[in-house]
Structure 1
């Protein structure tokens, strides 16, 4: 399914300014569109009939009544036969030789003008939701496509990805019911009556990490389940048996409308904990808008983990690329953009194949590579270095979202790195300090050191980047780093390449195994040495061109059992001694030698072979 992004200006205004909080205190809208995520159009591009639906299966809504729907179809003269329907099951029956949707609760015709304007469509027979939930959907036919993009892509979706948020069947492309909720959700609303006036829930990660002896704050998610929305709430929580309360008045821009499941994040204060350890805690909402919370959900249990410090998680992205690869500019761009966006935490390793920066064969890569460009985050499988797992290509730099998901995960071990270039410029020595925040009796870690080059450039075909994006535009690829590739040529010269892998202890056979027993807060040391003259092409015939004063060393902490990267550290190689040595050669040893001039005792210039007593221009007396 192709997602066609569009500004959808009119539709967005209608959806955002529609009846999100109604006058009746028991009526609210259920939707997977929160009014802020991007909207897009999608469809098969064919002349066919669509059946689409969302699944409502919230226990809190059992016993409430569906009164109507708000659906959105972009305006087109090619649409007809619009119907809205409800069904307990999604069922297809063969009618006139075609499989057609057969709802088991109700079906009614609807005015397409209401769908074009995202206007409320009431049900002729309101329906009470029973246990197990209900599918709410609509059906319409596209009679022609041609150049009409609204007819080719008549479904309005949002980038949310909630289970049950997008079910689809069609007469030509989707010949059975397909769940597309992992791609997007339908931007439709279901109006429900009989809900509680003031109801909300709170959720947070299973474990909150804090620094021992310090007060802290953590973000919790507050979700609305009441018709009045949420303007204020009171939280009750306990930490290690100590009861606490907190009142919160949401600012105007953060208040939740009367729509089911709409949420916001707020900061909750946590008390200081005096000693390392993991402590039980609970949290719940006691009041909503000053009234008792109608939700009967039990308090949410979580844990507070207090340690002397919280390690910094730096997920490594390993990219596999080559200048001959016309799609590889998107990896080049993504990695530079990620370093700009996350300069203190982003770690990248670029493995080049079949170009002037190649130092190892494809068989020596840490992962199996089947195409270029390709990447991996902490060696958890492979993904695209720009689009990530977004195979539809609907989201620029989607790799950032996936990297952040790793970066936001807690790791118990910190990695610190130092590296130095020798005065003669022949070797780089590196040290890593691995510090665990808790004692481990069977850690099972090793350290792989990787030497990388930055600002690498050169002349010749091996440095010229093939470019398949010369006809692409900035509205599709908006990162400023894409500028050298858009509207240019199919071969781009003069680029600087960063984070290029030059050597690794993995291929040298010198990875460092750490002790199984790690003491809390006691750094465990690992070291490595790289001989720079040994950095040559895989055939060992030619040296690889790099700048000795623009090197980094990356230390990868690896779980030996899984071969996955746990954390990483990076350091710029200190080239101070080498630069000083070069400066000394420049100022002393490199001085041009003055020619010796000979004079006789009368002061006349003489040749070096002249007989007698001679005086040189340095004042030295010579007798020949």
Structure 2
């Protein structure tokens, strides 16, 4: 019985040892990454150079990737003729050079063809932009020689303000003549063409227009009227326009505008024809603080029943897209009863003022336009840096106007998306200069 017991223990022990040995199988790599350990081990690497054909003095950047697709450049060693080299590496002579990458036990080589850089005889300087705000913009340069070789990093850039960086910035506004200089092997200078840059200062205030879509029948409309009046009192650069869709003061183009600008209910107030105003002054701040490329001036007069107006648009900086101009004729002081749903609301400024409010005074009421309601095109030549577009208009006073002494003009520039970019307002007969 004792012998059988010992044989049984030996069998069990033999099984345990065999199982333990199988659990630690060896793939022959000696790194413990094979079998049931980690992922598959890399078996090869590939080194590439960018560019594969270079000029003397031009840096080549090497990349090493293993057969698993992993970038192992940082853990690889690069050698040239047995000597370790940096990455990127600059070749100083012309020949075919073999660079070898080593990563652990894996190696691979690449041949870089290096040619002697020809001495240039001409340089061409170009820039990504010629006009920009001096205090927030810059101009980036590219220089190529007569062989088509990029010399951007091998030249010096100079203007009236001195040596420039690339991209170039300027401490003050002005017109700058920039050229590039390349030092030739004999020590002489090769100079490029001159590029003229306009580093521009802003001279115009940004103003914001709010078009209030309203009607005497609209019981909620007095709320927006109050909010708009408060906003104008807080900042005179907010310019209101009331677009009436009612029988008393109907603006002829109200329905067209409602469709174009997504006005689906009343009251609706649109900031610069795009954003619906939430009646909070803070929403207007970003619009007021956005610098615009242009400003406007208005001059007008009345002779009999004919209004003559001149509107100028001056561009500090070239327009980035097609622009159009719109000019409204507005009237203040129109008295019509106004439906008022806030008569019983003690938190409203219209509390207990009646429903309707008898003798409600409507201001900034759009009567007609001197232009197309969506704008007349401003020629591209007139919207260049430093240019001024001048538009002259004559208009017969509409029969709906009640008091010509209460008329005012609002002129504004819009972009291709119909967004108003900058606005100006002047009373009829007032000469409102750029500001």
- Residues 524-566 of structure 1, C-alpha deviation per residue, up to 9 Å, x if partnerless? 111222211xx2xxxxxxx42421011111112011x212211
1:516: Cα distance to partner?
1.0
Other-structure match for 1:452: 330
Per the TM alignment, residue 473 of structure 1 is displaced from its structure 2 partner at its CA by: 2.6
Deviation at 1:421, TM superposition (A): 1.5
Q: Which of 291, 295, 310 matches 1:414?
A: 295
* Corresponding residue to 2:222 among 304, 329, 347: 329
Q: 1:273 aligns with which of 162, 167, 172?
A: 172
**Structure 2: gaps (5+ residues):** 1-131, 138-163, 177-197
Note if contact 1:314-1:567 (Cα within 8 Å) is conserved in structure 2.
yes
How far the C-alpha of 1:306 sits from its partner, in A, is: 5.5
Residue 361 of structure 2 is matched in structure 1 by 496
| Matched ranges for 1:437-476 at <5 A | 437-440=316-319, 443-457=321-335, 463-474=336-347
SS at match of 1:465: coil
1:371 partnered with 2:265: yes
CA distance in 2, matches of 1:496, 1:488: 13
CA distance in 1, matches of 2:388, 2:368: 25
Structure 1 residues 508 and 332, CA gap change in structure 2 (3 angstroms): closer
8 Å CA contact 2:134, 2:173 repeated in 1: no
What is the DSSP-based 3-state SS (H/G/I as helix, E as strand, rest coil) of the residue aligned with 1:556? Answer: strand
Deviation at 1:467, TM superposition (A): 0.7
> CA–CA distance in 2 between the matches of 1:575 and 1:342?
20
- The Cα of 1:355 is off from its aligned counterpart by 3.3
Structure 2: distance between partners of 1:339 and 1:404 = 13
Aligned-partner Cα distance in 2 for 1:314–1:575:
18
Structure 1 residue runs without a partner (length 5+): 1-206, 213-239, 242-270, 278-304, 389-396, 458-462, 536-542, 577-624
Equivalent position of 2:306 in the other structure: 427
**Over residues 437-468 of structure 1, what are the superposed CA-to-partner deviations in whole Å (9 max), with x where a residue is unaligned?**
1245x7411111110001222xxxxx111111
Shift in Å, 1:499: 0.8
Q: Using the alignment, how far apart are the partners of 2:359 and 2:377 within structure 1?
A: 41
1:325 deviates by: 0.6
Look up the SS of the partner of 2:405 in the other structure. Answer: coil
Distance of 1:342 and 1:363 partners within structure 2? 30
- Structure number with larger C-alpha Rg: 2
- Report what 1:316 is aligned to: 209
In structure 2, do the counterparts of structure 1 residues 433 and 210 end up closer, same or farther at CA, with 3 Å as the change threshold?
Answer: farther
Provide the residue aligned with 1:587 in structure 2: none
Match for 1:531 among 379, 389, 396? 396
Query: Where do residues 169-188 of structure 1 align in structure 2 (5 Å cutoff)?
Result: none
Q: Would the aligned equivalents of 1:319 and 1:373 in 2 still touch at CA under 8 Å?
A: yes
Size of the aligned set, in residue pairs, is: 250
Cα distance in 2 for partners of 1:566, 1:276 equals 26
Task: Give the alignment partner of residue 544 of structure 1, picking from 371, 381, 400.
Answer: 400
Cα distance between partner residues in 2 of 1:472 and 1:376: 25
Question: Which residue of structure 2 lines up, in the alignment, with residue 352 of structure 1?
Answer: 244
Q: How far 1:374 moved relative to its partner?
A: 0.4
Q: What does residue 315 of structure 2 align with?
A: 436
How far apart are the structure 2 equivalents of 1:209 and 1:452?
38
Is the CA contact 1:313–1:409 (under 8 Å) kept in the aligned structure 2?
Answer: yes
Paired with 2:333 and 2:136, the residues of 1 have a C-alpha distance of: 39
Runs of 4+ in structure 1 off by over 4 angstroms are 207-212, 506-509
1:276-332 Cα deviation digits (max 9, x unpaired): 58xxxxxxxxxxxxxxxxxxxxxxxxxxx9534332111111110011110000111
Q: 1:515 aligns with which of 379, 390, 395?
A: 379
Tell me how far apart the structure 1 counterparts of residues 209 and 355 of structure 2 sit (CA, whole Å): 30
Aligned 8 A contact 1:324 1:355 in 2: no
* Partner SS, residue 251 of structure 2: coil
Match of 2:226, SS state, is helix
Structure 1 residue 339, shift from structure 2 partner: 1.8
Decide whether the 8 Å contact of 2:311 with 2:411 is kept in 1.
Answer: yes
CA distance in 2, matches of 1:546, 1:419: 19
Helix, strand or coil at the partner of 1:329: helix
Quote the residue 1:283 is aligned against. none
SS of 1:466's equivalent in the other structure is: coil
Partner of 1:574: 429
> How far, CA to CA, are the matches of 2:430 and 2:421 in structure 1?
29
RMSD: 3.4
CA distance in 1 between partners of 2:255 and 2:412 (Å): 20
Equivalent-residue separation in structure 1 for 2:430 and 2:289 (angstroms): 33
CA contact (8 A) 1:349 1:501 kept: yes
- Equivalent pair of 1:431/1:526 in contact (CA under 8 Å): yes
Q: 1: CA distance between counterparts of 2:373 and 2:394? A: 10
Separation (CA, whole Å) in 2 of partners of 1:211 and 1:417 = 30
Question: Secondary structure, in 3 states, of the residue corresponding to 1:320?
Answer: strand
Distance 1:357 1:381 in 2: 24
Residues 527 and 512 from structure 1, CA distance in 2 versus in 1: closer, same or farther, beyond 3 angstroms? farther
How far 1:209 sits from its partner (Å)? Answer: 6.9
Contact (CA 8 Å) 1:359, 1:544: kept in 2 or not? no
Q: Tell me the distance in 2 between the aligned counterparts of 1:208 and 1:362.
A: 38
Q: 1:140-179 residue pairs with structure 2 within 5 A?
A: none
